[in-house]
């Protein structure tokens, strides 16, 4: 087995099969163990039929590998399932720059998920809260009474919280929260089961009725924080010096901090990096999206998920904090062969580690977007990578795809009409 390295270059000049061989060599993993990442039939129809309802086939996305990532001193080759050009290339390039400056540094909080039990029909919401808090130990014991495996792994219900909502349009409401350490699972099934189990007890204690009994996708107790420090000279382009790029990144981020119209696009770019890794590993990208955007508005105003600053040394500092409810056991992570292969390629050992890596990709993607926006603009690089799609849409096949894409990128005219003109010239 060779030493694992994420530092690869020139992959774009290779064929898909050659890229796959190089990725396997760089990871030290036999090709047979990662076949599911390159095999169109990785998900057999009987297995797909068991995963969701009314199955008639598969819907596939391209799966690329982001290179150059170093997180907490460890190299990662990161699978990303995404249809948008430039995402994988941009993340890889920014990871290379960050890697040359010490890499990404990440820390994850304990994997605490939150279940909610809605209680209605009381006249004394503050009294109900006190009764529930007094019964804390009984509630926790009941919640932990059925999942012996989780308890043996060191997880389980850790605490409770009680929220009061007075005078809603349906009267007083109290919501009991179960705070559950779900270990390496995403945790939805675990916390939902606990909420269902505890609900009758909560109703008796509160002398109230229960309604909703379900997890919250605002996983604010299960967060990841990632930061990186980059020397200004590492950011320089042929047209702009590094100090100018660093200032531009800070200025662009500042608009996202104060303006929700910009913040929505800014954060979408972050999720361009996050969602493809979540998807490739068989996790619930919709839950991660919901939690991220709720987190961005947690202080009452929708704002940026990242912060960029320049320190006294003139270095650029970037950071991201957001909930990251992902798992490596249960669900599609253990059902889908490609998801299993993705985790194997990354050498992921825990759900917290996976969350740290995913958040690092989000920060890299944001850095790439702000670097482009603060210099030549987003379209120049994006359209050059998008040119292949345009060439295919115009009817190009085989070697003509690359030839036409390169000609359009070189001229700066990327359109279906231009591609058709170039195709007709052959």
Q: Is the pLDDT of residue 256 over 80?
A: yes
Query: Does the annotation mark 382 as catalytic?
Result: yes
CA-to-CA dists, residue 103 to 4, 70, 157, 226, 234, angstroms: 16, 5, 35, 10, 13
pLDDT, residue 381, reads 55
pLDDT, residue 236, reads 93
- The one catalytic residue among 229, 275, 284, 418: 284
The whole-angstrom separation of Cα 133 and Cα 128 is 9
153 vs 379 pLDDT, higher one: 153
Question: Is the domain of 173 the same as that of 237?
Answer: no
Question: Is the domain of 195 the same as that of 90?
Answer: no
The whole-angstrom separation of Cα 202 and Cα 21 is 57
The whole domain housing 409 covers: 380-424
Q: Is the pLDDT of residue 1 over 50?
A: no
Mean pLDDT lowest among 97-101, 236-240, 392-396: 392-396
Per-residue pLDDT tens digits for 56-69: 998 889 999 999 99
Question: Is the domain of 233 the same as that of 370?
Answer: yes
Residue 132, token pair as written in the block: 């529930």
CATH number at residue 278: 3.90.770.10
Q: Is the pLDDT of residue 86 over 70?
A: yes
Among 174, 196, 215, residue at a domain's last position: 215
Per-residue pLDDT tens digits for 165-196: 999 999 999 999 999 999 999 999 999 999 99
Q: What is the mean pLDDT of residues 132-138?
A: 98
Q: What is the mean pLDDT of residues 294-299?
A: 98
- The one catalytic residue among 7, 33, 84, 257: 84
With respect to residue 179, please indicate whether it lies within any of the assigned structural domains: yes
- The one catalytic residue among 58, 126, 268, 334: 268
Beta carbons of 366 and 266 less than 8 angstroms apart: yes
Q: Is the pLDDT of residue 382 over 70?
A: no
Greatest mean pLDDT among 7-11, 104-108, 327-331 lies in 104-108
With respect to residue 6, please indicate whether it lies within any of the assigned structural domains: no
Hey, how many other C-beta atoms are within 10 angstroms of the C-beta on 10? Answer: 8
With respect to residue 246, please indicate whether it lies within any of the assigned structural domains: yes
Residue 32, token pair as written in the block: 């047979």
Instruction: Answer whether 0.85 is exceeded by the pTM.
Output: yes
pLDDT, residue 82, reads 97
pLDDT, residue 219, reads 98
Per-residue pLDDT tens digits for 398-408: 778 878 877 88
pLDDT, residue 379, reads 57
Question: Is the domain of 228 the same as that of 291?
Answer: yes
Query: Does the annotation mark 386 as catalytic?
Result: no
Question: Is the domain of 116 the same as that of 248?
Answer: no
Query: Does the annotation mark 402 as catalytic?
Result: no
- The one catalytic residue among 356, 382, 386, 418: 382
Question: Is the domain of 141 the same as that of 63?
Answer: no
Query: Does the annotation mark 268 as catalytic?
Result: yes
- Which secondary-structure segment (H or E) carries 264? helix 260-280
Question: Is the domain of 295 the same as that of 333?
Answer: yes
Per-residue pLDDT tens digits for 274-285: 999 999 999 999
Q: 119-142 as b/e, with b when 16 or more CB fall inside 10 Å?
A: bbbbeebeebbebbeebeeebbeb
Residue 264, token pair as written in the block: 């929505």
DSSP string, 173-233: EEEEEEEEE-TTB--HHHHHHHHHHHHHHHHHHHTSEEEEEEE-S--TTSEEEEEEEE-GG
Among 194, 215, 236, residue at a domain's last position: 215
Beta carbons of 363 and 306 less than 8 angstroms apart: yes
Taking alpha carbons only, the member of 320, 249, 270, 263 closest to residue 297 is: 263
331 confidence band (pLDDT: 50, 70, 90): confident
426 confidence band (pLDDT: 50, 70, 90): low
Domains contained in the chain, number: 3
């Amino acid at each position: 087995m060779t030493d694992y390295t994420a530092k690869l270059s020139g992959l774009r000049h290779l064929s898909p099969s050659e890229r796959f061989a190089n990725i396997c060599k760089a990871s030290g993993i036999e090709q047979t163990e990662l076949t599911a990442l390159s095999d169109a039939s990785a998900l057999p129809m009987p297995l797909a039929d068991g995963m969701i309802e009314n199955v008639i086939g598969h819907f596939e996305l391209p799966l690329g590998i982001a290179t150059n990532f170093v997180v907490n001193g460890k190299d990662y080759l990161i699978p990303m399932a995404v249809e948008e050009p430039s995402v994988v290339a941009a993340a890889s390039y920014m990871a290379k720059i960050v890697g040359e400056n010490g890499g990404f540094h990440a820390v994850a909080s304990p994997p605490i998920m939150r279940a909610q039990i809605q209680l209605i029909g009381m006249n004394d919401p503050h009294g109900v809260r006190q009764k529930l808090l007094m019964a804390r130990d009984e509630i926790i014991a009941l919640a932990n009474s059925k999942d012996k495996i989780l308890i043996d792994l060191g997880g389980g219900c850790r605490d409770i919280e009680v929220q009061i909502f007075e005078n809603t349009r349906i009267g007083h409401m109290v919501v009991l929260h179960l705070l559950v350490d779900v270990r390496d699972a995403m945790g939805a099934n675990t916390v939902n089961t606990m909420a269902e189990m505890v609900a009758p007890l909560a109703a008796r204690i509160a002398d109230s009725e229960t309604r909703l009994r379900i997890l919250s996708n605002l996983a604010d107790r299960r967060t990841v924080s990632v930061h990186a420090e980059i020397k200004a000279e590492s950011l320089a382009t042929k047209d702009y010096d590094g100090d100018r790029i660093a200032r531009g990144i800070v200025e662009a981020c500042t608009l996202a901090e104060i303006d929700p119209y910009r913040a929505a696009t800014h954060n979408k770019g972050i999720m361009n990096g996050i969602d493809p890794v979540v998807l490739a590993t068989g996790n619930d990208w919709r839950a991660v999206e919901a939690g991220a955007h709720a987190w961005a508005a947690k202080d009452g105003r929708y704002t940026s998920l990242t912060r960029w600053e320049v320190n006294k040394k003139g270095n650029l500092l970037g950071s991201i904090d957001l909930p990251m409810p992902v798992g490596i056991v249960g669900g599609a992570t253990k059902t889908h062969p490609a998801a299993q292969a993705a985790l194997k390629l990354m050498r992921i050992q825990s759900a917290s580690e996976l969350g740290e890596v995913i958040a690092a990709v989000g920060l890299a993607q944001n850095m790439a977007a702000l670097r482009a926006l603060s210099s030549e603009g987003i379209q120049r690089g994006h359209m050059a990578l998008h040119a292949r799609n345009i060439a295919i849409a115009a009817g190009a096949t085989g070697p003509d795809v690359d030839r036409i894409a390169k000609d359009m990128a070189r001229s700066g005219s990327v359109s279906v009409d231009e591609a058709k003109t170039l195709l007709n010239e052959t």
